[in-house]
Amino acid sequence: MSSEKEFVRKLENKVKDTIKKFKLISPKDKVLVAVSGGKDSTTILYVLKKLGYNVEAITVDAVIGTYTKENLKNIKNFCKQNNVKIHIVSFKKAYGYSLNEIVSLIKSKGWNLLPCTVCGILRRYLINLYSRKLKADKVVTGHNLDDEAQAFMMNLLKNKKEMNARLGPYPGIIRDPKFVPRVKPLYFTSEKDVEKYSRIMDFPVKYGRCPCAVDAYRNYIRNMLNELEKDYPDIKQNIVKYLLKNLSKWKKEIKLTEKLLACKKCKEPSRSEICRTCQLLNFVKKPS
């Protein structure tokens, strides 16, 4: 029991130190935690609440059958038990279709995108939109050390240096009122430790991957790094250290060419004349 208490204390202190070192959140901030019902977002929501931050939760329901139903039920119960206000946004309500319906419609028009890619684009759009409406100062995500190492390797292997410049505990390059800043307090915490904390605290979460993520590129990178970690235990930490060492330089290089536009259709911030969300929705819009 004492060893579990010590582990819990160390993880919470690591989160506290990460917030302090990178100035992720201030006591005055209204913080929205983007929750999915999984171990990572539930853990960081609980820890931030315990540390005394002004937190609320926001969840986007992609309507993926029983998987999202169970996750939504779990996170609603968790928020009720811990006296956290939760805001629920649905793909169906926002876009008129579930994630699977959107992916099918897109494929029927000849644009072959994986569900994870589509979900990420549409989910990020809604979180930023509603976070701004809710007047949040920061959006917290549950990204952990493993997630960051995986993201770096994915971008590296795809030769996308500009995407790696957007990583870090306080990600992004351009600061603009239309972008609610996102931060990652679990940045130095391994996925293994997050799961251990979640199980010790007996959080009501569903462990395992989203059923739509079976063919995701990230899975291959995750498995590769996990295999390498068996022989090189510090590999993920070393990847993240390398990223942080070069991040400032990369951000400066990309900032010279980075331009923020307003999407001609929805007026939301975009790096092109039509944002990726509107490009996707153009494939699924109902005929007039």
Residue 146 lies in a domain: yes
Residue 269 lies in a domain: no
Question: Which pLDDT belongs to residue 286?
Answer: 57
CATH number at residue 160: 3.40.50.620
Question: Which pLDDT belongs to residue 177?
Answer: 86
Domain limits for position 238: 2-247
Residue 258 lies in a domain: no
- One pLDDT digit (tens) per residue for the chain, 288 residues: 579 999 999 999 999 999 999 999 999 999 999 999 999 999 999 999 999 999 999 999 988 777 888 999 999 999 999 999 999 999 999 999 989 889 888 888 887 788 888 999 999 999 999 999 999 999 999 999 999 999 999 999 999 988 999 999 999 887 888 899 999 999 999 999 999 999 999 999 988 777 656 557 888 999 999 999 999 999 999 999 999 999 999 998 887 667 778 899 999 988 889 999 999 888 776 554
The number of distinct structural domains making up the chain is: 1
Question: Which pLDDT belongs to residue 234?
Answer: 97
With helix as H, strand as E and coil as C, how does the chain read? CHHHHHHHHHHHHHHHHHHHHHCCCCCCCEEEEECCCCHHHHHHHHHHHHCCCEEEEEEEECCCHHHHHHHHHHHHHHHHHCCCCEEEEEHHHHHCCCHHHHHHHHHHCCCCCCHHHHHHHHHHHHHHHHHHHCCCCEEECCCCHHHHHHHHHHHHHCCCHHHHCCCCCCCCCCCCCCCCCEECCCCCCCHHHHHHHHHHCCCCCCCCCCHHHCCCHHHHHHHHHHHHHHHCCCHHHHHHHHHHHHHHHHHHHHHCCCCCEECCCCCCEECCCCCHHHHHHHHHCCCC
Residue 174 lies in a domain: yes
Question: Which pLDDT belongs to residue 288?
Answer: 45
Residue 176 lies in a domain: yes
Residue 44 lies in a domain: yes
Residue 286 lies in a domain: no
User: What's the whole-model pTM score?
Assistant: 0.93
Residue 18 lies in a domain: yes
Question: Which pLDDT belongs to residue 215?
Answer: 59
Question: Which pLDDT belongs to residue 65?
Answer: 73
Question: Which pLDDT belongs to residue 255?
Answer: 73
